[in-house]
Structure 1
Amino acid sequence: MGEPQQSERNQTAVTVTIPSYMKAVSGSIGGVVEACCLQPIDVIKTRLQLDRFGTYKGIFHCGATVAKTEGVRALWKGLTPFATHLTLKYALRMGTNAFLQSTFRDSETGQLSYQARLLSGFGAGVLEALVIVTPFEVVKIRLQQQKGLSPELLKYKGPIHCAHMVIREEGVLGLWAGAAPTVMRNGTNQAAMFTAKYLFDRVLWKKQEGDGTVLHPWQSMISGFLAGTAGPICTGPFDVVKTRLMAQSKSGGEVKYKGMVHAIKTIYAEEGLRALWKGLLPRLMRIPPGQAIMWAVADQVTGLYEKRILQKHNAPL
């Protein structure tokens, strides 16, 4: 009953290699579904962060209040930029990882070593960090750190205005503030996540890549959730440093943190070792459920592709 759905003709030794574009498509679809499911959590988080007067008594009270006073649709405010961000990020991440894996595979056996698997994930994380994640997060953090809701009192009026102001005051490279820890965070995170997902699929469900097996969505969710916990634990210090570097504006002259290494040393000296894992619980509340949703969708897309190719291969002449 708990076994993955098997292709009727998967006794063949043929192994399907999923093209990188197919992985990118599966990731982008998964990103859209994840955004639609988790956007209310992000809206509630932002409202709580911006609540200076104790209007909201907690997560559930905040959600109920927003829905009652503004309508249920208000819980999906900002869905377009959030979904766009996730769609682009996952498409690039999944496509790059698949491309690197195909590059690193042994040309004779088609096998992929664990070192190559880790390196592929790391490379995918580095690319997504530089191309998409860093500028998006600089703008997001600058907006989120502002206190109050009155537009006339806020320096940044919105995402586009924020990006324009950062470029004008700090130059284009201002949008890549904190790039080094972001690269390390995302690279390490994806190396751990892709490898862990592969191992959990093998150990829990006997799933091998390209074998034509389509995992049940709940199986993919369990593997994705467990894999999603590995990254935040490993990359906590990089995430804290990234946020501190992105939040500080260089337009005022002297900055507290000179770079990634200096920030780590300063935080450790002033706040102790545990400070380098601040915000771990909220990350664990957000990332593993998101990965569970994304993988549930992505595995269905790629699994059906595998079955289709195997069925074509085994079709009678």
Structure 2
Amino acid sequence: MPIADFTWAAAICQTAAGGSAGLLEVLVTHPLDVVKTRMQLQGTQAQHGEILYRGFYDCFSKMYRYEGLSGFWKGIMPPIVFETPKRAFKFLLFEQCQRLFMFGKPKRSAMTFALAGALAGTLECFFLNPFEVVKITQQANRYESINTVTVAKQIIEKDGFGLRGLGKGITATMTRNAIFHFVFFGFYYGMKIKLPQRDDPFMDFLQRTSLAFLAGVLAILHSAPFDMAKSRIQGPQPKPGKIKYEWTLRTMQMVYREEGFRALFKGLSPSLMRVGPGGALMLLVYEYGFGYCKSKLI
């Protein structure tokens, strides 16, 4: 299908494959997302009544000890409800807006995929951000599991829909998404068009899996400080009633000044464990799902 052509059959395939890929990735990798958020939210010293996590395995074991297995699934409903349509929208937008970044060339380049990915990742934030605020609020709670609707109502009643409520941290979310998807899609598809295509299905699968894994790792390394800032802004503030973390760059500066350079990458281990395999899973499910659907409809 020429890149400039739009067909409803292709759009349906892209939407269905993207939604399925997003849902499967959430179900498999959510516990690592909870651990990542917990590590990002804490400072260098424990607050009153707070448990201090001293690393990924320490966080994992303490969560299991004090909160049980269900603690790893806190905040799962917002992603389940939202990831399917969000991923569907993102992959559809990614595929259809590539034509905007051809720059007069007959073939797509790594920059085409990178810019299309960055645009798709940025635009999804307007729909994503409220769910992220609710999810992180749930994940941050160490003592009880609160219903998703209840958390959303509490946030709206207290702070509304603006930058203090469901819209808080949207600039950090947009910056993180733009950087992540620029690197992720740019590296994966840029390398894919440069490497020879494998005739053996198994070797083709291994090549795609390796590229997707590396793309996820590189994307996380570039976007991790912005993800940390997003969690600090959207999560509970250190002192109730006083807003410390509000703007992205200022939050990163404060964390760097108070906790050191390594603090900008808090939660990196679970992020890499989640997005490396999770990103590979998502991309492969999308590609194989899209290919299968296209063979049936187009």
Same-fold status (TM-score > 0.5): yes
Matched, 1:273 2:261: yes
For residues 190-237 of structure 1, give each alpha carbon's deviation from its aligned partner in whole angstroms, at most 9, with x where no partner exists: 111111111332345537xxxxx9984444322221111111100111
Following superposition of structure 1 onto structure 2, how do residues 121-160 of structure 1 map, counting pairs within 5 Å?
121-132=117-128, 134-149=129-144, 157-160=146-149
Alpha carbons of structure 1 residues 269 and 36: separation in structure 2 relative to 1, 3 Å:
closer
Alpha carbons of structure 1 residues 288 and 233: separation in structure 2 relative to 1, 3 Å:
same
Matched, 1:96 2:93: yes
Amino acid at match of 1:88: P
Alpha carbons of structure 1 residues 58 and 285: separation in structure 2 relative to 1, 3 Å:
same
Q: TM-score, normalization: structure 1?
A: 0.71
Counterpart for residue 171 of structure 1: 160
Match of 1:38 among 29, 32, 44: 29
Counterpart for residue 186 of structure 2: 195
For residues 65-96 of structure 1, give each alpha carbon's deviation from its aligned partner in whole angstroms, at most 9, with x where no partner exists: 968xx9xxx98897664433321221122111
Which has the higher mean CA deviation after the structures are superposed, 15-24 or 257-266? Answer: 15-24
Q: Is the 8 A contact 1:214 1:300 kept in 2?
A: no
Alpha carbons of structure 1 residues 46 and 247: separation in structure 2 relative to 1, 3 Å:
closer
CA distance in 2, matches of 1:95, 1:236: 25
Amino acid at match of 1:234: H
Unpaired segments ≥5 residues, structure 2: 43-49
What is the CA-CA distance between 1:278 and the residue it aligns to? 1.3
CA distance in 1, matches of 2:112, 2:214: 21
Match of 1:256 among 228, 244, 251: 244
Alpha carbons of structure 1 residues 75 and 117: separation in structure 2 relative to 1, 3 Å:
closer
SS of the residue corresponding to residue 176 of structure 1 reads coil
What is the CA-CA distance between 1:281 and the residue it aligns to? 1.0
Q: TM-score, normalization: structure 2?
A: 0.76
For residues 229-287 of structure 1, give each alpha carbon's deviation from its aligned partner in whole angstroms, at most 9, with x where no partner exists: 11110011101111111114599543112411211221121122221111111100111
Counterpart for residue 303 of structure 1: 291
Following superposition of structure 1 onto structure 2, how do residues 102-117 of structure 1 map, counting pairs within 5 Å?
102-105=99-102, 110-117=106-113
Counterpart for residue 4 of structure 1: none
Aligned length: 277
Rg: which structure is higher?
1
Counterpart for residue 45 of structure 2: none
Alpha carbons of structure 1 residues 36 and 257: separation in structure 2 relative to 1, 3 Å:
closer
CA distance in 2, matches of 1:162, 1:233: 31
Alpha carbons of structure 1 residues 217 and 29: separation in structure 2 relative to 1, 3 Å:
farther
Amino acid at match of 1:300: Y
Alpha carbons of structure 1 residues 272 and 161: separation in structure 2 relative to 1, 3 Å:
same
Identical amino acids, percent of aligned pairs: 29
Counterpart for residue 14 of structure 2: 23
Counterpart for residue 8 of structure 1: none
Q: Is the 8 A contact 1:101 1:120 kept in 2?
A: yes
Match of 2:116 among 115, 120, 128: 120
Amino acid at match of 1:200: M
CA distance in 2, matches of 1:304, 1:31: 17
Matched, 1:224 2:212: yes
Match of 1:87 among 81, 84, 89: 84
Q: Is the 8 A contact 2:112 2:186 kept in 1?
A: no
Alpha carbons of structure 1 residues 198 and 26: separation in structure 2 relative to 1, 3 Å:
same
